[in-house]
Amino acid sequence: MGVRLFYLDEKNGKRNQLITVKELSEVLSVKESTLYQWAELGQIPSIKLNGSLRFDLSDVEKWIQSCKKPVISDYNPLIKLEARKGEKNK
């Protein structure tokens, strides 16, 4: 296991963990090159530390939550299926 990097968040006084590109690519099941591209484009929160790209685990968790789409509670896939069956019977 590699060295763990932490830093103190001055806003909330919590100790936050920094993870590497390799670690995050394994967690998210995406290529490392994709993470570098997302970071360069500002699509994912990242930190450059002495030339190495790192990710604040708590920021990444918040970013993942922000990517969620809301559930449409009144959606019923069976209604579409029944409508299609009705069209075939005509």
Q: Residues 24-78: pLDDT tens digits?
A: 999 999 999 999 999 999 999 999 989 999 999 999 999 999 988 877 777 666 6
pLDDT of residue 4: 72
CATH number at residue 13: 1.10.10
Distance, CA of 25 to CA of 35 (rounded, Å): 7
Domain of 76 in residue numbering reads as 5-88
Tally of structural domains, the chain: 1
Asked whether the whole model's pTM tops 0.85, one would answer no
Distance, CA of 26 to CA of 40 (rounded, Å): 19
Checking if the pLDDT of 81 tops 60, the result is no
Distance, CA of 90 to CA of 85 (rounded, Å): 9
Distance, CA of 59 to CA of 24 (rounded, Å): 12
DSSP code of 70? P
Q: At what angle do helices 21-28 and 32-41 cross, to 10 degrees?
A: 110
